[in-house]
Amino acid sequence: MDTFIAPEPGAGLNAFFMARGIAIVGASDDITKIGGRPIYFLRKYGYGGTIYPVNPRGGTIQGLPAYTSVADLPQAPDMAVLAVPASAAVQALQDCAARGVRGVVVLSSGFAEAGPEGAVLQAQLVAIAREHGMRLLGPNCLGIISVAQGVIGSFSIILEQSMPEAGHMGIVSQSGNIGSYVVQNVASKGLGVSHFIATGNEADIDVADGIAALAEDAQTRLILCCMETCRDAGRLTRALDLARQKNKPVVVLKIGSTDQGQAAAASHTGALASSDAVIDAVFRRYGALRVDSIEALLELGHAASILLPGGLPKGNRVTVLAASGGFGIMMADATVKAGLALSTLNESTKERIRQVLPLAGVNNPVDATAQVSSRPEVLFGMLSALMEDDGADVTQIFLSLALYNPRLRSVYMEALRNIRASYPDRLLVVTSQGPADAVREINALGIPVFPGIDATAQGLAGLLRMAQLARLGAAPRYQDTVQSLEPSAFRNEYTAKKALAAAGICVQDEIVAASADEAVQAAQRMGFPVVLKIASADIAHKTEIGGVVLNLGNEQAVRDAYEQIMQAAATHAPAARLDGILVTPMAKEGIELIMGVSRDPVFGPVVMVGTGGIYAEILHDVAVQTAPVSEDEAHAMIRSLKLFPILDGARGQPRADVQAAAHTLARLSQFACRYACNVAEIDMNPVRILPEGQGAVVLDALLIPINPAV
């Protein structure tokens, strides 16, 4: 079978979004069947194009003339929906291709998800689609809904009661049920949807296609994505990059985590760089906002849809207002934990608050006391003072459950209406639970409502990241030739360091000694004190067998250490191949990091930095990113470590050479990309970061090949 190149992400999806004619293959009069439901929904919601029921029996179906085959259609529809058994789908798709259909939705199951025979059928579908330039959605999917166009290629139960309102929120989901749940919740909040795409088995169209198509779509301002796995790193990153360029925020609910692939037990790096951390890093790099629950997806999406395109926060300074000191403290805690800052109120603002409520707490968090809800003008006065304070970017008010009380609801709604009219460009958010109609009334004023204190803080942090999308630069890409590293580089620490040094990574001078006399001669040339280490292709963790002796200050100490190490190797690794003993100068004092590379099964080489030495896997203080990384990204990774304050000179300690550390990490990432053909993992542990201006040096290194036989 010929190999066809997959289209660029998003290409050809207008055949679905803007379909001027829709064929339903396997059409049925029974509106409870998947062949009947799309026709029923299309007619119910007033689709303006032509509907072509296709069924071998012909006649009429749901009051429409039915055609016995796709070949008999009077003209080629843009889209076809296949609701036939898996065994009949290949021929049905072939018929669609012959008739010139541009996009096909395969609702049927029984393909790759069902086993090897189904996988063969699915591969045949893809081959037909590629050969004829069609786009294929599914199989085993819930299809597509384009709300404003009335296009429905779905049997989802969410359409039984009503069609969502047309709007600016695009939703793409691998899971049809999860996606439907999101659509239903979005609709219940009175928000509008542009398109809903459920990708199912992703034989052709995948989540990346959905993101890219929605990024190009004029109706869509915000993209919600429900994702289980990524099958193609390049397509996903290109789609996310396109959304960033178009300033279309992407909020992702990523559930589960991909297998890390074959673990390399010899390397710290493989244990530290989990695949879920990798996808997290990819999302951060390309500006996608990851959430960890459907609730968070809906809350952030809800708030963003109200504020986009111009109402997002300009900065991270938040003023919180509550009628209770305790709630105010909780709000302050949540704000800071979310990475936001509490604003400092101007003295003039504090004086205005006192004039409105003499007993109010005038510091941030502002304790308005219960008197704030006595009359609308009191709350309006408090909020006016805060809105005019130029030291805050966001004002947050906590209403608790007050919206359930008719009197309090009336007070708050009047004050909020007046404040919005007076300060239309200032960002105000409400934290409250209440009746759906009350929440919708506040939303209609352009004020987001979050159901809880933590949800508000996390939501504001997400909104701020959305606002910063335009500042996010393009991710670096490796532009040079990919090569294979010489097999000899994998042999031991000495050969690994030589390969790294050739790439511009600083390592210690070393000599391999084959005897105690050679070790002494090497130490004399280098100058005492020195370190002795076993060199062996079969001993990865030298310290664990007693294969490292430090701080040797004279000839006799070197001789004793040589014999000690050889005896330890004979005892603990009798079958190991020994290449000799490494002699190297004792390194200067500094702070230890671990740097390394692992190979993600989807995203390829991944670079990692973290707290090094013997505590690397215990503390698990690491940052990861797909390779290559720029020096700026390397700096950001190092700054994200819990260890960073120590590197930065905490408590009067000398600052470490973070610039050299970032340079080393960036060089390592380039090395990983250059030799991606046969390097599976790289473990540089420890990397000694010397005082500022003195550099960084790799003290130990291990290279692991993709093929362990190398």
Distance CA 487, CA 542 (A): 21
User: What is residue 274's predicted lDDT score, i.e. its pLDDT?
Assistant: 56
Distance CA 491, CA 185 (A): 58
What angle do the packed helices 406-422 and 376-387 form, to 10 degrees? 40
Query: Domain 14-256 class?
Result: alpha beta
Residue 269 pLDDT > 50:
no
For 550-609, the pLDDT digits (tens) are: 999 999 999 999 999 999 999 999 989 899 999 999 999 999 999 999 998 889 999 999
DSSP 350-408: HHHHHHH-TTSB-SSSEE--GGGGS-HHHHHHHHHHHHT-TT-SEEEEEEETGGGSHHH
User: What is residue 4's predicted lDDT score, i.e. its pLDDT?
Assistant: 67
Mean pLDDT across the stretch 245-261?
78
Q: Which of 405, 404, 411 is nearest to 433 (CA)?
A: 404
Just give the CATH number of 591-705. 3.30.470.20
Is there a contact between 171 and 224 (Cβ–Cβ < 8 Å)? Answer: yes
Strand-strand pairing, 701-705 and 679-689:
antiparallel
Amino acid at 547: G
> What's the whole-model pTM score?
0.90
Residue 530 pLDDT > 90:
yes
Distance CA 223, CA 250 (A): 5
Residue-range domain boundaries for the chain = 14-256, 306-471, 509-585, 591-705
Mean pLDDT across the stretch 522-535?
95
**How many C-beta neighbours within 10 Å does residue 549 have?**
20
Distance CA 609, CA 622 (A): 6
Query: Domain 306-471 class?
Result: alpha beta
The CATH number for 509-585, chosen from 1.10.3720.10, 2.60.120.380, 3.10.310.70, 3.30.1490.20, is: 3.30.1490.20
Strand-strand pairing, 317-322 and 394-400:
parallel
| 264 confidence band (pLDDT: 50, 70, 90) | very low
State the Cα angle at 352 between 350 and 357, rounded to 5°: 90
DSSP 598-663: EEETTTEEEEEEEE-GGGHHHH--EEEEESP--HHHHHHHHHTSTTHHHHTTGGGPPPB-HHHHHH
CB burial of 627-639 (b: ≥16 within 10 Å; e: otherwise) equals bbbebebbbbbbe
Distance CA 19, CA 51 (A): 10
Q: Which of 624, 665, 627, 636 is nearest to 276 (CA)?
A: 624
Where is 118: in which H helix or E strand?
Answer: helix 116-132
State the Cα angle at 283 between 281 and 286, rounded to 5°: 110
Mean pLDDT across the stretch 521-548?
91
| 509-585 shares the fold of 14-256 | no
For 377-399, the pLDDT digits (tens) are: 999 999 999 999 999 999 999 99
**Residue ranges of E strands in 386-464:** 394-400, 428-432, 449-450
DSSP class of residue 677?
T
Percent of the chain with pLDDT over 70: 96
Q: Which of 237, 294, 322 is nearest to 626 (CA)?
A: 237
Return phi, psi of residue 684, to 5°. -110, 100
For 131-175, the pLDDT digits (tens) are: 999 999 999 999 999 999 999 999 999 999 899 999 999 999 999
Return phi, psi of residue 210, to 5°. -65, -45
Is there a contact between 58 and 68 (Cβ–Cβ < 8 Å)? Answer: yes
User: What is residue 107's predicted lDDT score, i.e. its pLDDT?
Assistant: 97
Residue 260 pLDDT > 50:
no
Residue 2 pLDDT > 80:
no
User: What is residue 709's predicted lDDT score, i.e. its pLDDT?
Assistant: 61
DSSP class of residue 67?
B
**Residue ranges of E strands in 601-678:** 604-611, 622-626
Amino acid at 351: E
Is there a contact between 243 and 287 (Cβ–Cβ < 8 Å)? Answer: yes
Is there a contact between 696 and 591 (Cβ–Cβ < 8 Å)? Answer: no
Where is 668: in which H helix or E strand?
Answer: helix 658-674
CB burial of 244-272 (b: ≥16 within 10 Å; e: otherwise) equals bebebbbbbbbeeebebeeebebbbbbbb
Strand-strand pairing, 679-689 and 591-600:
antiparallel
Residue 268 pLDDT > 50:
no
**Residue ranges of E strands in 26-96:** 50-54, 60-61, 64-65, 79-82
Strand-strand pairing, 679-689 and 696-698:
antiparallel
Residue 708 pLDDT > 90:
no
Distance CA 170, CA 89 (A): 29
> Which tokens in the block code for residue 180?
């439907």
